[in-house]
Amino acid sequence: MSIEKVKNYLKEFGREDVLEFETSSATVELAAQAAGVIPARITKTLAFQSEDGCIVVAVAGDAKIDNKKFKDTFSIKARMLSPEQTLAFTGHAVGGVCPFALPSTVKAYADVSLKRFETVFPAAGSSNSAVEVTCEELFQYGRCEKWVDVCKGWEENA
């Protein structure tokens, strides 16, 4: 089970505080309600087709992928994976996708839209989980390649 994998993975960093909710947190709105925070602080981890298979990008809950910025950054068109492909490549089902405990073939990135918050809430491998982390912890635990700027729509909420 993906959540157990993530919990074990986060223990490597001394973290044993994964939140498990009674209700679904599979969407930004549901996760915000469950965690008691504004939707923008929920981290969406989006999976895209890459030349090597898959990349994931962690973005703020109120951010949308900007196709031009994405192509300029990654030199590929922003093609999101299907739910089945996402599970196959990341090991996490849609609603629980996070940058943690990913196969070594998946490269993770973090979007600057997250940096305006002291802490954010990515999923933890299931559709009813999250973990509160700082942006630096998200970057470190996710073994992110780099910070990227591939989103739009969040600046007016900053």
The domain spans of the chain are 2-149
pLDDT at residue 155, as a whole number: 83
Give the angle subtended at the CA of 119 by the CAs of 115 and 123, to the nearest 5°: 100
pLDDT at residue 146, as a whole number: 97
pLDDT at residue 157, as a whole number: 64
Q: Is 109 helix (H, G, I), strand (E, B) or coil?
A: strand
Q: What's the predicted TM-score (pTM) here?
A: 0.95
Structure tokens at 31: 């996760």
pLDDT at residue 58, as a whole number: 98
Q: What gap in Å lies between CA 107 and CA 144, rounded to an integer?
A: 7
pLDDT at residue 158, as a whole number: 60
pLDDT at residue 52, as a whole number: 84
Burial of 22 (0-12, 13-18, 19+ CB in 10 A): exposed
CATH architecture of structural domain 2-149: Alpha-Beta Complex (3.90)
Low-confidence ranges of the chain (pLDDT < 70): 1, 157-158
Q: What gap in Å lies between CA 91 and CA 98, rounded to an integer?
A: 10
